[in-house]
Amino acid sequence: MNDDTTHTDTINASDAMIKVLEAWGVKHIFGLPGGSFDSTMNALHNRRDTMKYIQVRHEETGALAASGEAKLTGKIGICFGSAGPGAVHLLNGLYDAKHDHAPVLALVAQVPSMMMNTDFFQEIAEEPIFADVAVYNRTVMTAQQLPMVVDQAIRQAYEHKGVAVVTIPKDFGWAQIPDTFHPTVDDFVATSRYPSPDRDLAAKAVDMLTAAERPLIYFGTGAKDAAAELKALSDRLKVPMMSSALGKGVLADDEEAYMLSAGRVASKPGVDAARSADTVLFIGTNMPFTGFFIRPDAKFIQVNTSQTDIGKRHHVDLGIVADAKATLQMMLDIARPMTSRPFYDVMVEDKRNWNEWLEARKDLDRSPLDVDSVFAQINRIAKDDAVFSVDVGNVTIDSFRLLNMKPTQKIVTSAWYATMGNALPTSIAAQETWPGRQVFSISGDGGFTMVMHDVLTQVKYHEPVINIVLNNGALGFIEAEQDDNHQPHSGVDLIGANFGDAARALGAVGYEVSTLDELKRAFDDVAAGRNGDRPVVIDVRIADDRPLPVEQLVLEPDEEHTRADVDAFVAKYEAEGLVPIRQILAGHGLVDSNVECARSMTAGR
């Protein structure tokens, strides 16, 4: 008698799920186990040769690491949490991913299926708490569907550039299921190609930039793959450029026509360019503060792949729903070279003046130190492929202003959600993703204390991350806001801590720095690799000084400020040598009505 029964191998459902992650190119997963996640921890043990588990000391760290990895690489980041408190702890990092449009998958444990809906130990209704943060939010209903649901979750996270959450009852992971599921990664069609521009609209955009007296190219991360085209169009039409803060690194910071950004996380030439422009090519960005710096009657050309973003921040004279790179290429094909234009020359001079002012500050020998000195040392030892993970607060202003970046380097922060404590977790992800690259985490003392326990994670996995702590003993960013509100400082003072000693107690290399000589010696040690494969924490005592508020400069008397106001501002911020944009414009035969109009919109901000 012939036996025609086909034999099918079986596999634990959790092992099948990990195989799906591997098929999608996932190399590691961040999390902290709990009893409800035992079946998946068993699978991670079984597949330890092909999937690295990174044990963090708090689930928030794991979620922030997954989010940071996704932002840095564009590939999905994976984190997990156990039932109840572990799941809740994930939320902050997942909201960071949601706001910055990063593809992240969170695997969330649930109590065994037979105990669900019985008010069991650590049982909560998990789907509702993730409803707002997730683009895909499902509870697995049978063991056999576990790999399929996870596969679908990854597809949804990629398609919608957001968070997918899969809740897994504990017992399903242990169950034996047929080992027949085939991940759909090879069938998933991903594209970076977006709508092609209309040639007539591209020609009109060129005409508007050519006819303008003060044209400006304002780009964001949507143009991150178009650095060559941005520079070429700027050179051909003699148009200065600026970017959203997250556009930093697309072009070299020392590109003469690149003014950095406007706003509070900004440079003086960036703010000056935005306020002075009469025609703006706003391409690949949805920067929310545009309306505070671009004058209302400026002609506005917006290029974006999202129809709903066209006109969201400023009235639009010409809207183009198209890919940024393709639009720039078409504009280059149409544009005719122009010789020197006064506004271009104005902004180049303005940036040169700004850089000279910064240069004079980088070796100030003070105690506590000036923050410019710290970034001079970071720039000195930073390698051409360094990764900078930046926390939130004054450290954001300082990093995006003072890091002298190259396009071969990377920078990341919590941009839209702006959660403190993101830098150290993201540095863990960066070092795991690129073991051979130099990784910095740069934090204030406020943000660092939220996550400093995970220096242990850096130690455990031999991650030589360079952790810089800018220790000013205050929540400086909030302190400045309270100053602007003319209120007393309340709740912003932080008691001192010795983070160098704390780092050594955790197994890292720690430095306490309060003088310029100590600062240079610490960075010399790091540059020489004396920490080996151990992380470094450099605790730098800096003055609790507000970064120069480039959005509120008072460099010359006007309708709202007297000479005494100017003298007080210049003295407070040591702004001697900074030339008002009005003076530079006048030197090139341009009037300054645009600047005054835009300044009035930001008065008091």
Q: How far is CA 404 from the centre of its chain?
A: 16
Q: Where in the chain do CATH 3.40.50.970 domains reside? A: 10-187, 363-541
pLDDT for 513 beyond 80 = yes
Q: Would residue 249 be called left, alpha or beta, if left means φ above 0 and alpha means ψ between -120 and 50 degrees?
A: left
Indicate where the chain has its CATH 3.40.50.1220 domain(s). Answer: 199-340
User: For residue range 458-512, what is the model confidence (pLDDT) as tens digits?
Assistant: 999 999 999 999 999 999 999 999 999 999 999 999 998 999 999 999 999 999 9
Strand order, beta sheet including 52-55: 52-55, 28-31, 77-81, 104-110, 163-169, 134-139
**For 36, which DSSP code?**
G
Q: What is the pLDDT of residues 70-89, one digit of tens each?
A: 999 999 999 999 999 999 99
- Arch. (CATH architecture) of 363-541: 3-Layer(aba) Sandwich (3.40)
pLDDT in tens, 89-117: 999 999 999 999 999 999 999 988 888 88
Distance CA(65)–CA(428), nearest Å, equals 7
Q: List C-alpha distances in Å: 194 to 51, 233, 310, 325, 502.
A: 34, 20, 15, 10, 50
Catalytic residues: 59, 121-122, 264, 392, 477-478, 481
- Give the pLDDT mean for 199-221: 97
Condensed to tens digits (0 to 9), the pLDDT of residues 14-29 reads: 999 999 999 999 999 9
The CATH topology of domain 10-187 is: Rossmann fold (3.40.50)
From the candidate CATH numbers 3.40.190.10, 3.30.465.10, 3.20.20.70, 3.40.50.1220, the one assigned to the domain spanning 199-340:
3.40.50.1220
Q: What is the pTM of this model?
A: 0.94
Distance CA 216, CA 299 (A): 10
